[in-house]
Amino acid sequence: MCGIVGYIGNRDAKPVLMEGLKKLEYRGYDSAGVAILSTDTINIVKSKGRLGVLEEKLCNVDIEGTMGIGHTRWATHGEPSDLNSHPHVSKNGKIAIVHNGIIENYIQIKDFLSEKGYCFSSETDTEVIAHLIEYNYEGNLVKAVLKTLNELEGAYALGVLSVDNPDMFVAAKKDSPLIVGLGENENFIASDIPAILPYTREVLILEDKEVACISGGKVEIYNLLGERQRREIFHVDWDVCASEKNGFEHFMIKEIFEEPSAVKATISPRIRGREIVLDNFTITDEMIKNCEKIHIIACGTAYHAGVVGKYAIEKLARIPAEAEVASEFRYRDPIVNEKHLTIVISQSGETIDTLMAMREAKRKGSRTLAIVNVVGSSIAREADDVLYTWAGPEIAVASTKAYNTQLSALYLAALSFARRKGLLDEKEYNSYINQLQQMPEMISSILGEREKIQKFASEHFNAKSIFYIGRGLDFALSMEGSLKLKEISYIHSEAYAGGELKHGTIALIEEGTLVVCSLTQEQLFEKMIGNIREVKARGAVVLAVAHEKNTEKVAKIADSVISIPDTDSILAPIAAITPMQLFAYYVAVIKGNDVDKPRNLAKSVTVE
Ligand code: AGP
């Protein structure tokens, strides 16, 4: 998704903008640009392509200025091109803007402005905003922006600067992320915290439908009625290197190696004595006992965590649960009421489909619980209860440690609900808690198998299609294993329920087809052995993931086995996903792909 950076202060704006945009590259983009105010001129430099292309252009022009806005664009309206790149300027060239989001009524506004004599050089909705601000401008930039925003429908994070206002610029937010960084006689805006961390840890988080007037010395926040808003300063306690590679070749492998600490950080603070204590939850025992259904809503990897959560909640807390992709849930007029709990899962806390799905569930009376990794994100702020995954910043587009910690949070919730419903005796409860606390070292031991996984990847990186099969929680796990491979290796893959393969898809299994089989579910183990025999009989090559106690038996029929430490089947996915993440990573590296920034993908999908 697009990245926005803005700066005003005493430094040369150009390096501040460029370094900030580099920190946002992980969000995914196809073009980039900056607008820097110098004397009475707005200097716009922008281009299709990576930031290196923009940097080259900037080397060839002499631009001085201490205020500017920058943008990395992930194309929505109009193909990636120099013309469609941001910033966009108004007709009179006096106003420049950068935008993340989609304006849903831009065509109507474009028609209106065309009748007023405005011409458009790009295909973007953003350029329409620039002209509309000019049309509404009567000498006060904040008022012109406020008037404009009241006429827009859709999502936006905006940075706006004007020649007539050299001592301030304006920012605005609705449904797309934007934060304000507070420095010493300098201030910043950014789509995400890593962009401003080198300069400040003091942040103001804009709420939806708010506008910020930002000068070097102060920041004023208004609602769309122009009323001043007060806001607590949020102190970012990440260490800067958490958003650096620290010697790893890629962020993705670094983040896989952070899984033990991330899972520990998510679980340990919530186990006090021998009890699971969820952070200031307002949901009561009564609500849990009377809860008739749990909807688990998310996208992508977070959705796959939700499918695991469904199995865990039903098995442990005996509450009917359904996992569903947010983009389907929000448009099907779902049956939701006040006796339901809706759990939304999101690493970024800004995925627009998940945010809108949560709003739909709330509108229908459901309580909401957010499992989110980014503190203060939109989803976190709007949910009734929040269970943060303390995974630290996840920079690689392909989500890894976030998934392991999302599972950890879901198990904590499922066990807490089961306990509060009186469904777990002391012995069972303590056993689960002990195993959860051992998860970090289990994952660490799996990381020790990476050479074996890397070798297997080197033998299969040319596969045309790879199947992931499993039963029960292993099927849920296979969904994520398959997505990980697809999104960074670009190899076609699909996850299949082991018992369903013979109902059609097994026709695709032929000599040499690679099938990854997960066998962590004890009561389905023999069934999965049968499924391995089925695919082997048709020439498949099988990579199995199995508990240590079953490794010898599985090795007799599979071509390779990755062992994971023995644990209760229901908790196995927290660790069993790691070998699949490593396999996908090594295949992508061997193929020479851009592992951290795979083609076409964005870290946070903040547009529909
Ligand atoms: C996963 O590797 C992808 N990056 C993508 O599927 C992601 O999980 C999905 O877009 C949801 O993002 P979120 O967790 O930030 O809401």
Structure tokens at 272: 């006090």
- Residue 310, pLDDT > 70, answer yes
291 is catalytic: no
Q: What is the CA radius of gyration of the chain?
A: 25
Supply the residue whose CA is at minimum distance from atom 6 of ligand 1: 300
pLDDT band at 123 (very low <50, low <70, confident <90, very high): confident
Supply the residue whose CA is at minimum distance from atom 9 of ligand 1: 300
Sign of the C-alpha dihedral computed for residues 49, 3, 126 and 327 taken in this order: positive
148 lines ligand 1 (CB under 6 A): no
- Please say whether the beta carbons of 308 and 478 come within 8 A: no
Distance CA 480, CA 302 (A): 9
Ligand 1: residue of 1, 26, 301, 580 to mutate (most ligand atoms within 8 A of CB) is 301
CA 46 to ligand 1 center in whole angstroms: 28
pLDDT band at 210 (very low <50, low <70, confident <90, very high): very high
HEC letters along 506-543: HHHCCCCCEEEEEECCHHHHHHHHHHHHHHHCCCCEEE
Q: Mean of the per-residue pLDDT values for the chain?
A: 93
At residue 243, the pLDDT reads: 64
Query: Of the candidates 602, 597, 595, 561, which has an alpha carbon nearest to the alpha carbon of residue 581?
Result: 595
CA 302 to ligand 1 center in whole angstroms: 6
Read off the pLDDT of each residue in 201-227 and give the average, rounded to a whole number.
94
For the segment 545-568, what is each residue's pLDDT rounded down to a tens digit?
999 999 999 999 999 999 999 999
606 lines ligand 1 (CB under 6 A): no
- Please say whether the beta carbons of 181 and 4 come within 8 A: no
Lowest mean pLDDT among 35-49, 77-91, 148-162, 399-413: 77-91
- Residue 239, pLDDT > 90, answer no
CA 399 to ligand 1 center in whole angstroms: 6
Lowest mean pLDDT among 128-142, 222-236, 242-256: 242-256
- Residue 79, pLDDT > 70, answer yes
Distance CA 588, CA 583 (A): 9
For the segment 434-450, what is each residue's pLDDT rounded down to a tens digit?
999 999 999 999 999 99
At residue 242, the pLDDT reads: 62
Phi/psi of residue 162, each to 5°?
-140, 145
CA 372 to ligand 1 center in whole angstroms: 11
CA 74 to ligand 1 center in whole angstroms: 16
- Please say whether the beta carbons of 369 and 385 come within 8 A: yes
Read off the pLDDT of each residue in 575-581 and give the average, rounded to a whole number.
97
514-519 sheet: strands from edge to edge: 492-497, 465-470, 514-519, 541-547, 560-564
- Please say whether the beta carbons of 299 and 326 come within 8 A: yes
At residue 132, the pLDDT reads: 97
- Please say whether the beta carbons of 590 and 458 come within 8 A: yes
- Residue 274, pLDDT > 90, answer no
What is the DSSP-derived secondary structure letter of residue 449? T
Read off the pLDDT of each residue in 130-159 and give the average, rounded to a whole number.
96
At residue 1, the pLDDT reads: 66
Distance CA 328, CA 326 (A): 5
Domains delineated in the chain? 3-237 (3.60.20.10), 244-447 (3.40.50.10490), 448-595 (3.40.50.10490)
- Residue 530, pLDDT > 80, answer yes
At residue 515, the pLDDT reads: 98
For the segment 250-268, what is each residue's pLDDT rounded down to a tens digit?
999 999 999 999 999 999 9
Phi/psi of residue 500, each to 5°?
-100, -20
- Residue 280, pLDDT > 90, answer no
255 lines ligand 1 (CB under 6 A): no
Show Cβ contacts of residue 40 under 8 Å, excluding neighbours closer than 6 positions.
Answer: 163, 166
What amino acid occupies position 256? I
CA 248 to ligand 1 center in whole angstroms: 22
Distance CA 53, CA 3 (A): 16
315 is catalytic: no
Supply the residue whose CA is at minimum distance from atom 7 of ligand 1: 300
Query: Of the candidates 159, 88, 470, which has an alpha carbon nearest to the alpha carbon of residue 308?
Result: 470
At residue 600, the pLDDT reads: 86
Ligand 1: residue of 296, 325, 348 to mutate (most ligand atoms within 8 A of CB) is 348
At residue 240, the pLDDT reads: 63
Distance CA 470, CA 477 (A): 8
More confident position, 281 or 439:
439
Distance CA 460, CA 591 (A): 11
Distance CA 57, CA 128 (A): 26
The DSSP bridge partners found for residue 96 are: 89, 161
Element (H, E) at 583: helix 573-590
Lowest mean pLDDT among 17-31, 334-348, 524-538: 17-31
Lowest mean pLDDT among 76-80, 385-389, 468-472: 76-80
Residue 425, CB-side half-sphere exposure with 13 Å CA sphere: 1
Ligand 1: residue of 192, 347, 377, 597 to mutate (most ligand atoms within 8 A of CB) is 347
pLDDT band at 24 (very low <50, low <70, confident <90, very high): confident
Residue 510, CB-side half-sphere exposure with 13 Å CA sphere: 5
